[in-house]
Amino acid sequence: MLVDTKHRSHTIEIMDDLEMTGDILIDALDQLATINKLLGGTQVTLDGLKKLLEGQSKEKTIRIIDLGCGSGDMLRKVAKYGIKNGYKFKLLGIDANQATVDYANKLSADFPEISYKKEDVLSEDFKTHTYEIAMCTLFLHHFDDNVAMNVIQTLLKNAKIGVLVNDLHRHRLAYYLFKIVTLGIKNDMTKSDGLVSILRAFKRRDFERYSKEIAFKSTITWHWAFRYQWIIKKL
């Protein structure tokens, strides 16, 4: 029987255990970063960032916050993009797992423009951050609809330029493609969480419904491999 992707799953991912530590976690973070790059996810975020930066001065510092930053692989790509294109970035990665934050700091030692903080994005403290751009790469699907929209509303309140969401397309082919891509991976958490992520992910109608709840112009585009890019501009 084929997997059913009609509705978003409410199954919790193993990695959502915010107290998790150890080699299995680190291995999973590395593998997910590799898979994200392999399947084009990194480029989807960089493409969206480029669109949000159109018309922005390269003389001022642009603060970018990355929610659920994991090992910081996306922020390091953004830092390199900024250097290559003459932008002055101040980058902040947020993750609720201290072991993940520690690992991200270790890998980002050569990037002084990047810092990390252990914080719950649903906390009152998180609401005090201000920034020009907020990024959510493979992060929003961790939340049910109402909570996800609360996060987006917080980001829109505090972001000066806009919000960039890069997340998975909930599709049967995406599910089986991931199974094929991870055939050689021994880390069961990577395999399990990847499949759960796809079942928790979105269809275009989900983002269209979310868009109706916000007061700003947004665009939704599909990208290979089974990614949606949702850009919300405030300017």
* Residue 193 resides in a domain: yes
Q: Give the residue numbers spanning the domain of 202.
A: 24-233
What CATH number has the domain bearing residue 204? 3.40.50.150
- Residue 120, by phi and psi: left (phi above 0), alpha (psi -120 to 50) or beta? beta
Which of 74, 94, 78, 73 is CA-nearest to residue 26?
73
Residues in the chain: 235
In the prediction, which pLDDT does 40 show?
83
* Residue 2 resides in a domain: no
* Residue 18 resides in a domain: no
pLDDT tens for the chain, 235 residues long, are: 899 999 999 999 998 988 989 998 999 999 988 888 888 889 999 999 999 999 999 999 999 999 999 999 999 999 999 999 999 999 999 999 999 999 999 999 999 999 999 999 999 999 999 999 999 999 999 999 999 999 999 999 999 999 999 999 999 999 999 999 899 888 899 999 999 999 999 999 999 999 999 999 999 999 999 999 999 999 7
The backbone torsions φ and ψ at residue 164, rounded to the nearest 5 degrees and listed phi first, read: -125, 120
* Residue 14 resides in a domain: no
Residues 104-117: b if buried by 16+ CB within 10 A, e if exposed: beebbeebebbebe
CA distance 232 to 235: 9
* Residue 145 resides in a domain: yes
* Residue 118 resides in a domain: yes
* Residue 188 resides in a domain: yes
- If one counts every other C-beta atom within 10 angstroms of the C-beta of residue 209, the result is 13
CA distance 149 to 153: 6
In the prediction, which pLDDT does 11 show?
96
* Residue 207 resides in a domain: yes
CA distance 141 to 208: 15
- The tally of CA atoms less than 13 A away on the side-chain side of residue 91 is 28
Please count the structural domains in the chain: 1
